[in-house]
Amino acid sequence: MVTLTRPEGTLAEDLHISRRSLTALLAAGYAAAAVSASAEPISTGTKGLTIESVTMAGGLPGFVARPSAPGRHPAVIVVNEVFGLHEYIRDICRRFAQAGYVAIAPEFFFRADPQRTLPTLTDFPAILKIVGTAGNEQVMGDVKATLDWLAAQTFVAPKRLAITGFCWGGTVVWTAAQRFPQLGAGVAWYGRLKGQPGGEARRYPLDFAAELKAPVLGLYGALDKGIPVADVEAMQAALKAAGSKSRIKLYPASDHGFHADYRASYNPADAADGWALLMAHFKANGV
């Protein structure tokens, strides 16, 4: 496995970090609804990697970044935010691949957005309309299809599987860790922990804290207006009461989206710390 020279990214010569105009960021494929004109997002190189688009069971598309070197590698499912599969998520996959992982990001919203317009939208109600079509059972079906695809690949170590996700994808991580025993570990970045009035009738992480089949590391910001600290503390208490190996770290100075280097909410220090904890969590659990 490649030894990283920094918590987020790969070898220095494979990284290019520069200030870009908003136009350039949009052209690069970052989510139009959230990108900051002053962002300096990390761009991870592809040297030594195989990059490909795949189609899984049920027509589910996926973006894959993996080491080109022969052999079986641990694998991680990368679950997007509400903005779909855009450049930030693709770069997360490349970061994992440079660290020795097979990384796959499924396109969970492809049924309602076959033309893949979601990352270009700026109207939030329109974004949520697309996202709302992906119900919990459909999403879990897509996670299963992705796990099945990984298990069938000769370049994947089938017993070394993990999942991570951001925002909307953070909740998917908790849910998948309760559903799929083949997962060895999960890391949930600021995923919702309980339902909202008028939301989908389903179970949320606070409902199944005692049922997790894989240890989850939750990474949350205390300044997050959408996920109150009270919810985080309730989840911490539920995990402790269950004797769970899962845990949550709360960053006092971070808001929602603190890992997203293309957004104004990006907190470089906490993002780097969270990424280091993610890598350590995966390693500690054999992934």
Strand ranges (DSSP E) for the chain? 15-16, 43-44, 49-55, 61-67, 73-79, 102-106, 156-166, 185-189, 216-221, 247-251
CB 100 within 8 A of CB 74: yes
Residue 79 phi/psi, 5-degree rounding, is -105, 125
**Three-state secondary structure call for residue 1:** coil
Instruction: Check 256, 259, 270, 281 and give the catalytic one.
Output: 256
What region, left, alpha or beta, does residue 286 occupy, with left being phi > 0 and alpha being psi -120 to 50 degrees?
Answer: left
Instruction: Check 167, 259, 270, 281 and give the catalytic one.
Output: 167
CB 172 within 8 A of CB 79: yes
Instruction: Check 91, 142, 224, 231 and give the catalytic one.
Output: 224
Q: In whole angstroms, how far apart are CA 96 and each of 9, 73, 158?
A: 8, 11, 17
Cα–Cα distance, 95 to 42 (Å, whole number): 10
Residue type, 222: A
Longest dimension (CA), the chain: 49
Judge whether 167 counts as a catalytic residue. yes
CB 147 within 8 A of CB 139: no
Judge whether 93 counts as a catalytic residue. no
Judge whether 256 counts as a catalytic residue. yes
**Three-state secondary structure call for residue 94:** helix
Q: Which amino acids are annotated catalytic? A: 167, 224, 256
